């Protein structure tokens, strides 16, 4: 029950929920009982600045979202096989945020499911059986999406139907021609192994890869390379979408490139499980020649109420535009701090998704813990887990940035030998 002591809850979780298979954040896992805006409160009443949670894109416990969802729950909530205007409205609104041609929306309940559905649409259209992904990618938790998540591969695991190419890390990787050639080289290997690629998937913010800010040329290379290999290009906006990189909703749009498919998730329902694939009608029509698509909880009326409320709050409060300004201040302050620190290196990011290189993984872990002790919640990412990841709710303003960077500075000092 809610009055059980924290240590007992922890033991019961290990016993009932598999322990190490589902790890929690931080050395001492937190029991978060309340949230408001950019702040979270634990069971002891301690408050934390949230520098990490993108599900709460419009802030924790946003009253507009809560009201709209609860009103719908008190009216009716069904599976997704009945007509409901709120659901259709959400599809129309999402399509309107996309480039011309990406006009059809299939709802899901998670980012993983969105990528799986996209995979089915692509393979149905072009008959490919291979997939192209970035080194150290993450695309989901089902068997196939785990195979497409090169960052999660255990030692020795290399699925024969998956080809990898480099994230936009080195200057030499960034031109459209070099990127396209890398993609095509990976595609040739796949085809040689009997798996011509159906789909290239790339997180538009390259977050699991360590947070990389790709120029338009890199996106152009992804699209051209995929198409030359007979594959479709999927922009995975599950993590960086919904205004985080501002001033629009989707990171890929900064490049001018139009992907064949876009997948959405995480922030979409402010915690109400939602995801979506947005694509051209042609792909869905082709699929419909042989299959139906149905997922019980995909855009129920209450989920759609959450989805529409999130879009309303983002729009009414100008949060994507604000992410550009707040993120600019964050990067500027972090670069100044990193310039004076032996423990920090490069600072990368767009809007409010920012990665800071830490000298090594053990130091990064100690830094993360030092931040928690000072009341700030952040995360780690990248191949070696040595990149500090800052990905806060978009309600952050410059005062939150200052609290965060001041805390980071004190945490760095605490680590000094």
Instruction: Tell me which residues touch ligand PMP (CB under 6 A).
Output: 110-112, 115, 138-141, 203, 236, 238-239, 265-266
Minimum distance of ligand PMP from residue 110's CB (angstroms): 4
Between 114 and 334, CB nearer to ligand PMP: 114
Using alpha carbons, select from 167, 138, 157 the residue that is nearest to residue 148: 138
To ligand PMP, the closest distance from the beta carbon of 112 in angstroms equals 3
CB of 42 to ligand PMP, least distance (A): 23
Strand, coil or helix: what is 1? coil
**Rounded least distance, CB 174 to ligand PMP, Å:** 21
Using the minimum distance from each CB to ligand PMP, give the nearer residue, 169 or 370. 169
Instruction: Give the span between the Cα atoms of 183 and 200, in whole angstroms.
Output: 9
User: With contact defined as beta carbons under 8 Å apart, do 353 and 394 qualify?
Assistant: no
Helix (H, G, I), strand (E, B) or coil at 284: helix
Nearer to ligand PMP by C-beta: 109 or 217? 109
Q: Which residue, 201, 72, 87, is CA-closest to 146?
A: 201
Nearer to ligand PMP, 116 or 357 (CB): 116
Of 226 and 408, the one with the shorter C-beta distance to ligand PMP is 226
Is-contact 211 387, C-beta < 8 A? yes
DSSP 8-state assignment for residue 254: G
Task: Give the C-alpha separation, 393 to 400, whole Å.
Answer: 11
The residue nearest ligand PMP at its CB is 111
Question: Which is nearer to ligand PMP, 173 or 203 (by Cβ)?
Answer: 203
Cβ 234 to ligand PMP shortest distance, Å: 10
CA 82 to each of CA 89, 177, 295, 305, 323: distance values in angstroms, whole numbers, following the listed order: 14, 48, 13, 15, 37
124 contacts: CB under 8 Å, gap ≥ 6: 283, 286, 287, 290, 291
Q: Write down the least CB distance from residue 149 to ligand PMP, Å.
A: 8
What span, in angstroms and rounded, lies between the C-alpha atoms of 379 and 376? 10
CA distance 347 to 69: 38
Q: Least distance from C-beta 7 to ligand PMP, angstroms?
A: 28
Q: Which is nearer to ligand PMP, 17 or 172 (CB)?
A: 17
To ligand PMP, the closest distance from the beta carbon of 265 in angstroms equals 4
Sheet containing 275-279: give its strands across. 104-108, 275-279, 261-264, 232-236, 197-203, 130-134, 162-165
- Among residues 115 and 341, whose Cβ is nearest to ligand PMP? 115
């Amino acid at each position: 029950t809610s009055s059980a002591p924290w240590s007992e809850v922890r033991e019961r979780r290990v016993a009932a929920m598999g322990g190490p298979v589902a790890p929690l954040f931080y050395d001492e896992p937190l029991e978060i009982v309340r949230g408001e805006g950019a702040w979270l409160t634990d069971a002891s009443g301690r408050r934390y600045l949230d520098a990490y949670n993108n599900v709460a894109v419009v802030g924790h416990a946003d009253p507009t979202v809560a009201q709209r969802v609860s009103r719908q729950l008190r009216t009716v909530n069904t599976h997704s096989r009945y007509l409901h205007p709120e659901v259709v409205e959400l599809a129309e609104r999402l399509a309107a945020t996309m480039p011309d041609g990406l006009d059809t929306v299939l709802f899901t309940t998670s980012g993983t499911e969105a990528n799986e559905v996209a995979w089915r649409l692509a393979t149905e259209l072009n008959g490919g059986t291979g997939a192209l992904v970035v080194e150290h990618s993450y695309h989901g938790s089902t068997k196939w999406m785990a195979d497409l998540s090169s960052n999660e591969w255990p030692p020795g695991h290399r699925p024969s139907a998956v080809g990898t190419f480099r994230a936009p890390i080195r200057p030499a990787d960034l031109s459209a021609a070099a990127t396209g050639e890398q993609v095509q080289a990976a595609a040739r290997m796949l085809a040689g192994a009997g798996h011509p690629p159906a789909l290239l998937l790339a997180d538009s913010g390259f977050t699991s890869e360590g947070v990389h800010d790709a120029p338009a040329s890199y996106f152009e290379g992804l699209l051209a390379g995929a198409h030359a290999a007979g594959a479709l290009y999927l922009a995975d906006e599950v993590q960086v979408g919904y205004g985080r990189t501002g001033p629009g909703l989707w990171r890929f749009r900064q490049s001018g490139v139009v992907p064949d498919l876009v997948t959405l998730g995480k922030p979409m329902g402010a915690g109400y499980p939602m995801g979506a694939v947005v694509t051209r009608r042609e792909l869905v029509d082709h699929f419909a020649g042989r299959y139906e698509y149905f997922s019980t909880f995909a855009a129920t009326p209450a989920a759609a109420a959450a989805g529409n409320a999130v879009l309303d709050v983002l729009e009414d409060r100008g949060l994507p535009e604000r992410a550009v300004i707040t993120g600019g201040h964050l990067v500027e302050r972090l670069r100044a701090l990193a310039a004076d620190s032996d423990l920090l290196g490069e600072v990368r990011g767009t809007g409010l998704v920012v990665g800071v290189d830490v000298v090594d993984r053990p130091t990064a872990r100690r830094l993360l813990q030092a931040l928690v002790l000072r009341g700030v919640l952040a995360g780690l990412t990248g191949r070696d887990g040595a990149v500090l990841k800052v990905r806060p709710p978009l309600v952050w303003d410059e005062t939150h940035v200052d609290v965060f960077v001041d805390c980071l500075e004190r945490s760095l000092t605490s680590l000094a030998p």
